[in-house]
């Protein structure tokens, strides 16, 4: 399928083509280049993508965006990063898709994936989304550049760790619907307080298309702050939550097996379905998703079916059983990332599982001067989850290890490899194991090893 021609790329970027070519995909990581793709050679702080042009062409790249001389088919530009943003703008300008932008301190990737599942169920083969967690200054334009012109609905994730970042990204995405999933302590190293985080997340509303919809968490203490941020830019503001007064409200949420039976009221309508995920955080995600689906004119019934079929997401709640001695242990994979709010939410899910509870918790990063307090503050949720053994990973976990000493079995290790060794030695049939930590801790390697036996 043709995504871009050399002529279209030159028109979008103001570049000069060396030859005609047609690209069916876009990548800026040479390891991800496939046959027929466009390779955008970005010059970064650590390395320069131009060094990998031979590898990209060897893997089948149809052409490249470059800012230096190149032997293969290419469009030469003054600045390849600026060109990537230009391609993103051109992709956004040429589509009539209904576009949803998603941000939040927690839940944004999960909500994005759930939203895509709903949109793809409603408009099969005509929905588009950000891949992985490509939500930063390079990931967002890449996700837009990959969007086919004929897309019917798109959901783009936007992240930030400094003020002003979302203000720029939202001008590229230009959402018809802008969702804030939740406000919580995350990247606090770069913000004065949680209110400042809310202000930075509220920047997403600045890019709303005229008459667009802002979707805000009703139960958040920062709800009114977000509403104030949205009001100058939104034609409509919709709240979601469990509290009385929320526009999209959960009037029932009951744990059933590994999922949740929900009844949701939106306006005068009620929708009942079984959400494939457990936990209050997933109930909140589902409400935000349904609010966004309704805002783009999607079928809520089909959305409910998609949420029932969603299943666990790798690194964000996926579950599997691993062989242990003469039986099996349940592993809950929350290894992708962590902050104080998401730690508490997933520990609450662990609390509902049968069997002996084991928690492998990696340190939470980018918490600034309050890091020790945030880590020690997990002691209550860990105890409430009836954890018998806590494997704590990383130096930043020391305050929690010291707080919990004497209350349960504590194993404090320096890295993921040591955590895996200790975990394998202590697991028994019937155990329920939660694995969660900041991505940089590397607990995904623990999950991969447990899956491999």
Q: List, as residue ranges, the binding site for ATP.
A: 104-110
Tell me the binding residues: 104-110
Cα–Cα dist 223/80, whole Å: 39
Token digits for 175?
């959402």
- The answer to whether the CB of 285 falls within 8 A of the CB of 248 is no
Classify strands 63-66 and 357-362 as parallel, antiparallel or unpaired.
Answer: unpaired
Cβ burial, residue 164 (10 Å; 0-12/13-18/19+) = exposed
Quote the CA–CA distance of 196 and 269 in Å, as a whole number.
36
Instruction: Give residue 425's Cα distance to chain centre.
Output: 32
- 74: tokens are 């290419």
Whole-number Å distance between alpha carbons of 66 and 127:
30
* 424, two tokens: 């394998």
Helix (H) or strand (E) holding 35: none
Closest of 437, 108, 134, 154 to residue 284, by C-alpha: 108
* 3-state secondary structure at position 20: coil
Q: CA-CA distances (angstroms) from residue 24 to 36, 60, 436? A: 6, 11, 36
The full DSSP string for 126-175 is: -EEE--TT--STTHHHHHHHT--TT-SEEEEE---SSTTHHHHHHHHH--
Asked if 344 and 381 count as a contact pair (C-beta separation under 8 A), the reply is yes
The pairing of strands 236-241 and 213-217 is parallel
């Amino acid at each position: 399928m043709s995504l871009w021609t050399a002529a279209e790329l030159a028109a979008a970027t103001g570049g000069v083509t060396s030859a005609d070519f047609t690209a069916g995909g876009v990548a800026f990581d040479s390891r991800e280049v496939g046959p027929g793709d466009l390779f955008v050679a970005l010059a970064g702080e650590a390395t320069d993508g131009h060094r990998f042009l031979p590898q990209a062409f060897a893997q089948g790249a149809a052409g490249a965006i470059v800012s230096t001389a190149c032997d293969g088919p290419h469009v030469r530009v003054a600045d390849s990063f600026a060109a990537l943003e230009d391609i993103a703008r051109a992709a956004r300008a040429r589509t009539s898709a209904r576009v949803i932008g998603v941000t939040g301190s927690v839940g944004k990737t999960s909500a994005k994936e759930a939203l895509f599942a709903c949109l793809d169920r409603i408009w099969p083969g005509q929905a588009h989304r950000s891949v992985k967690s490509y939500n930063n200054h390079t990931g967002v334009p890449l996700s837009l550049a990959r969007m086919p012109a004929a897309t019917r609905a798109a959901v783009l994730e936007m992240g930030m760790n400094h003020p002003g970042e979302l203000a720029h990204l939202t001008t590229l995405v230009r959402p018809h619907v802008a969702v804030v999933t939740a406000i919580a302590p995350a990247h606090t190293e770069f913000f004065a307080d949680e209110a400042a985080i809310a202000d930075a997340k509220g920047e997403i509303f600045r890019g709303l298309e005229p008459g667009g919809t802002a979707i805000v968490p009703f139960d958040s203490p920062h709800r009114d702050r977000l509403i104030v941020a949205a009001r100058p830019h939104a034609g409509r503001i919709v709240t979601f939550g469990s509290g009385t007064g929320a526009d999209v409200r959960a009037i029932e949420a009951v744990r059933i097996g590994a999922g949740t039976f929900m009844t949701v009221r939106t306006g005068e309508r009620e929708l009942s379905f079984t959400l494939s995920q457990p936990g209050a955080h997933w109930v909140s995600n589902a409400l935000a998703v349904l609010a966004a689906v309704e805002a783009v004119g999607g079928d809520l019934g089909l959305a409910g079916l998609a949420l029932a079929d969603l299943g666990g997401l790798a690194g964000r709640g996926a579950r599997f059983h691993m062989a242990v001695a003469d039986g099996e242990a349940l592993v809950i994979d929350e290894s992708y990332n962590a902050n104080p709010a998401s730690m508490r939410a997933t520990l609450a899910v662990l609390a509902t599982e049968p069997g002996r509870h084991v928690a492998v918790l990696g340190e939470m990063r980018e918490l600034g001067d309050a890091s020790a307090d945030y880590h020690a503050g997990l002691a209550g949720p860990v105890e409430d989850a009836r954890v018998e053994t806590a494997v704590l990973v990383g130096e930043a976990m020391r305050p929690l290890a010291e707080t919990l000493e004497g209350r349960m079995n504590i194993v404090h290790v320096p890295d993921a490899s040591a955590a895996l060794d200790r975990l394998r030695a202590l697991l028994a049939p019937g155990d329920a194991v939660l694995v969660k930590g900041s991505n940089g801790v590397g607990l995904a390697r623990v999950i991969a090893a447990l899956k491999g036996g």
